[in-house]
Chains A and B, each alone.
Chain A
Amino acid sequence: MSTIDSRLSATQLAAFRDHLTEEPIEYDGLTANYDADEAIYHIETPDGKTSVAADELSTVAAEQAAYLTNWHFYTQQVGGEIVRAFCRWLELADERPVPNRYAALEDGIDREWGQLAITTTISDNGSRRYEIRHADDSDAAADALTTHTDPLDARDIGTLDADGRYRPLRTAPSLTAGWLFADLTANEVYEAVEAFYPATIVNWHREQRGELDVDHWRDEQDRQSGIYNLITVLPDEAVDWAAAACCDDSQCVKRREWELSEEESLTAAGGDGVFPCREPCSMVVAAGREWAKLEREDTQRYEFELTPSEKEQIETIIDAVADGTVDEIREADVSEPANRYRVRYLREKRFDEAGNLAGTPTHPEAHDEHADSGDTDH
Chain B
Amino acid sequence: MQSLVIVAHGSHLNPDSATPTHTHADTIRATSAFDEVRTGFWKEQPSLREVLRTARGDDIYVVPLFISEGYFTERVIPRELRLEGWDPDLWDSDGISADTATLPAGDIDNDVHYCGPVGTHRAMTDVLIRRAVSVTGDENVGDGFGFAVVGHGTERNENSAKAIEYHTDRIRETGRFDEVKALFMDEEPAVDDVADHFDSEDIIVVPLFIADGFHTQEDIPEDMGLTDDYRNGYDVPATVDGHRIWYGGAVGTEELTADVILERAADAGADIGDAIARVRQQTNPTREAAGD
Binding site for B on A (CB under 8 A): 80, 82, 152, 155, 159-160, 166, 168-171, 194, 197-199, 202-203, 206, 215, 223, 225-226, 278-279, 281-283, 286
Contacts and interface: CB of A to CB of B under 8 A. Distances in A.
B236 interface: no
Contacts of A286: 12, 43
Given A152-B26, A223-B79, A282-B42, A202 B12 contact: no
B50 A168 contact: no
B56 A80 contact: yes
Contact of B13 (A155, A168, A198, A202): A168
5 contacts: A152-B26, A168-B11, A169-B45, A198-B54, A279-B49
Interface residues of B, number: 23
A183 B56 CA distance: 24
Which 3 pairs show the lowest CB-CB distances between chains A and B?
A198-B46, A199-B46, A199-B50
Contacts of B79: 223, 225
A162 B43 CA distance: 22
A202 B45 contact: no
B278 interface: no
Contact of B76 (A160, A194, A225): A225
B53 A199 contact: yes
B214 interface: no
Contact of B15 (A160, A171, A223): A160
B12 A168 contact: yes
Interface in B18-33: 22, 26
Given A155-B22, A159-B15, A282-B43, A203 B75 contact: no
A82 B71 CA distance: 34
A278 B47 CA distance: 12
Contacts of A281: 45, 47
A80 B15 CA distance: 32
A166 B49 contact: no
A357 to B, nearest CB: 29
B6 interface: no
B44 interface: yes
B223 to A, nearest CB: 25
A331 B75 CA distance: 51
A195 to B, nearest CB: 10
A170 B54 contact: no
Given A199-B45, A278-B50, 18 more contacts: A166-B13, A166-B14, A168-B13, A168-B44, A169-B45, A171-B45, A194-B54, A197-B45, A199-B47, A199-B51, A202-B50, A202-B54, A203-B50, A225-B76, A226-B76, A281-B47, A283-B12, A286-B12
Nearest to B50: A199
